[in-house]
């Protein structure tokens, strides 16, 4: 692919900021290994500029009626529906996601905005049935003010849509800090949002490192809430800074999601669900089904099929529609995945497919790793416990249902789980006892505006999406109105 060179500055107050006095961070195209763009390296001063801008914009945006904000967000949704293709190549350059997957995500971006705009448009006061006949009371819902949204590199725009749509319809203004590895699509999105009519300062985007500008945004005295998606390491730091600033945080963190396959499962569906769980987006998805727990009677049959599919997947240029495995998103991720593969080999897991970096003919310097399957994995191994965020499947087997459940519930994470069986009573029973925020039965990977997502244990707290998504961006206020004369609190007291 020809190298492009774009220099991106922050997007504040409806435009890209001046490049003067900016330091820049190189963004490497993972398909070529070459610099394709640079992002401004923001600091506390830039954080202040962006937050002040969003704080100024807050009064006007919050004062609009829900219907007026709904209408502005629908304009944005229309612009996305008409122009999403403009963003596709930018995202692929930034994180190497395959064109088929980017197209699928981007062609549906508008629908998240429509759904939450609709959900939040009529939120108004609710009467309380209090016990005092002398007063009426109501619950009012008010926006927080400036919300900081911090996003990772794997699906920057979809994850942003989940935060932005409910936050904006609720009347908040938002400062976004995308990943330093993949900020371009978020910046281009902000430009598109302004062109669609979102007012100045209602959405600002600042770029740079998490520990620099990210932390400064969370600690800013005018920031009222933070919504974070990323690693548990990043989440812990963000939650600590948010606690010190006494602001609420929502954390969507990592996972090490189990897929349990019983011997009565429809094996074709299970194989397809397992492949999509671990190899789509190269395993760089929070819900990657990276731990396979399979009944001993069907283990060999199932693994043989998975290995045969893994070995036949075509790696190559993610811009090409026939490519089945693209590059990993950045060099740090490449190193992390290769290190985990080496560790798994040293710890005694048996590598049954893949296990190596590869150099496809059309992009020999890209960050490619073969789809990899490890068998005979023990729960004590790091490959079983740690999130790799790559195309690496760890397999173990079980005899009894209880053993499958305790293997699935092992470890610090609790994001998602898959259960494959034709016995729906059994599946329901396990779904009740599995400690994850999402459970898929004979299915894997769906997301929908109506279904809340989020984690248990170290996978985070709070939920995104679902029927309460907008309320998560609203503060609750009780308003009391006296309807009878007030008796003296000191009977007999003379005026
Ligand atoms: P990361 O934690 O390294 O970075 C995420 C974002 O946080 C980046 O924008 C980064 O700059 C910022 N950041 C890091 N430290 C910060 C700090 N101290 N203060 C403020 N901001 C800070 O994560 P990543 O490598 O970009 O993304 C991969 C991780 O994201 C994986 O663990 C994955 O499971 C998780 N993820 C979770 C979900 C979910 O919905 N649960 C979805 C996608 C990705």
From the CA of 142, how far away is ligand 1's center (Å)? 28
Asked if residue 237 lies in contact with residue 211, where contact means CB atoms within 8 angstroms, the answer is: yes
Question: What pLDDT sits at residue 2?
Answer: 58
User: Mind listing the pLDDT tens digit for each residue in 26-53?
Assistant: 999 999 999 999 999 999 999 999 999 9
Question: What pLDDT sits at residue 109?
Answer: 98
Question: What's the DSSP call for residue 473?
Answer: G
Reported as type and span, the H/E element at residue 228 is: strand 223-229
Q: Rounded to an integer, what distance in angstroms lies between the CA atom of residue 134 and that of residue 115? A: 40
Q: Which atom of ligand 1 approaches the CA of 178 most closely? A: 9
Q: Rounded to an integer, what distance in angstroms lies between the CA atom of residue 182 and that of residue 150? A: 12
Question: What pLDDT sits at residue 237?
Answer: 98
Written as six digits, the tokens of 336 are 């992390």
From the CA of 159, how far away is ligand 1's center (Å)? 11
Which residue in the list 49, 188, 252, 387 is annotated as catalytic? Answer: 252
From the CA of 376, how far away is ligand 1's center (Å)? 31
Asked if residue 300 lies in contact with residue 376, where contact means CB atoms within 8 angstroms, the answer is: no
Active site (annotated) includes residue 286: yes
B/e letters for 108-121, b = 16+ CB within 10 Å, e = fewer, are ebbbbbbbbbebbb
Asked if residue 353 lies in contact with residue 372, where contact means CB atoms within 8 angstroms, the answer is: yes
Q: Rounded to an integer, what distance in angstroms lies between the CA atom of residue 312 and that of residue 283? A: 17
Asked if residue 153 lies in contact with residue 179, where contact means CB atoms within 8 angstroms, the answer is: yes
Backbone φ and ψ of 53, nearest 5° = -60, -45
From the CA of 315, how far away is ligand 1's center (Å)? 26
The CA angle 241-247-251, to the nearest 5 degrees, is 70
Question: What pLDDT sits at residue 246?
Answer: 98
Q: What is the mean pLDDT of each run of 10 residues along the chain (495 residues)?
A: 81 93 94 96 98 98 97 98 97 97 98 97 94 97 98 98 98 98 98 98 98 98 98 98 98 98 98 98 97 98 98 97 97 98 98 98 97 97 97 98 97 98 98 98 96 98 96 97 94 84
Nearest residue (by CA) to ligand 1, atom 18, is: 211
Of 304, 296, 291, the closest CA to residue 395 belongs to 291
Nearest residue (by CA) to ligand 1, atom 22, is: 210
Question: What pLDDT sits at residue 471?
Answer: 95
Q: Which atom of ligand 1 approaches the CA of 181 most closely? A: 26
Q: Which atom of ligand 1 approaches the CA of 235 most closely? A: 2
**Residue to mutate (ligand 1; options 210, 220, 237, 239; most atoms within 8 A of CB):** 210
> pTM of the entire structure?
0.97
User: Mind listing the pLDDT tens digit for each residue in 322-338?
Assistant: 999 999 999 999 999 99
Position of tokens 């959405």? 203
Active site (annotated) includes residue 180: no
């Amino acid at each position: 692919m020809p190298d492009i060179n774009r220099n991106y500055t922050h997007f504040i107050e409806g435009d890209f900021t001046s490049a003067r006095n900016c330091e820049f961070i190189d963004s490497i195209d993972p398909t070529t290994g070459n610099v394709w763009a640079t992002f401004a390296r923001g600091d506390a001063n830039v954080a202040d500029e962006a937050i002040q801008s969003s704080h100024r914009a807050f009064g006007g945006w919050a004062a609009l009626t829900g219907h007026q904000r709904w209408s502005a967000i629908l304009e944005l949704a229309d612009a996305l529906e008409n122009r999403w293709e403009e963003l596709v190549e930018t995202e692929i350059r930034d994180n190497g996601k395959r064109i088929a997957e980017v197209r699928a995500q981007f062609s549906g971006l508008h629908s998240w905005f429509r759904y939450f705009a609709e959900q939040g448009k009529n939120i108004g006061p609710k009467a309380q049935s209090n016990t005092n006949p002398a007063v009426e009371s109501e619950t009012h819902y008010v926006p927080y003010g400036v919300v900081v949204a911090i996003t990772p590199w794997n699906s920057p725009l979809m994850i942003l849509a989940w935060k932005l749509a409910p936050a904006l319809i609720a009347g908040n203004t938002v400062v976004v800090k995308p990943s330093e590895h993949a900020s371009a699509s978020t910046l281009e999105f902000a430009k598109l949002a302004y062109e669609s009519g979102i007012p100045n300062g209602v959405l600002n985007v600042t770029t740079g490192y998490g520990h620099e500008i990210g932390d400064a945004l969370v600690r800013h005295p005018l920031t009222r809430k933070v919504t974070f998606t990323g690693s548990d390491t990043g989440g812990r730091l963000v939650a600590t800074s948010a606690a010190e600033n006494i602001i609420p945080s929502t954390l969507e963190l990592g996972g090490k999601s189990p897929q349990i396959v019983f011997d009565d499962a429809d094996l074709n569906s299970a194989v397809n669900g397992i492949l999509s769980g671990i190899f789509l987006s190269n395993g760089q998805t929070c819900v990657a089904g990276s731990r396979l727990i399979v009944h001993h009677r069907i283990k060999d049959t199932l693994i043989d099929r998975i290995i045969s599919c893994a070995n036949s997947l075509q790696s190559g240029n993610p811009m090409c529609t026939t490519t089945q495995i693209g590059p990993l998103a950045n060099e740090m991720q490449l190193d992390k995945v290769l290190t985990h593969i080496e560790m798994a080999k040293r710890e005694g897991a048996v590598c049954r497919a893949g296990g190596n970096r590869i150099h496809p003919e059309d992009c020999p310097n890209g960050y490619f790793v073969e789809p990899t399957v490890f068998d005979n994995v023990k729960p004590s191994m790091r490959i079983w416990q740690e999130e790799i965020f790559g195309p690496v499947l760890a397999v173990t087997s079980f005899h009894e249902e209880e053993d499958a459940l305790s293997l699935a519930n092992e470890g610090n994470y609790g994001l998602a789980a898959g259960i494959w069986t034709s016995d729906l009573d059994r599946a329901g029973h396990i779904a009740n006892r599995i400690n994850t925020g999402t459970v898929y039965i004979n299915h894997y990977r769906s997301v929908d505006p109506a279904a809340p997502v989020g984690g248990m244990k170290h996978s985070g707290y709070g939920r995104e999406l679902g029927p309460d998504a907008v309320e998560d961006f609203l503060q609750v206020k009780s308003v009391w109105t006296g309807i009878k004369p007030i008796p003296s609190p000191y009977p007999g007291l003379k005026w």
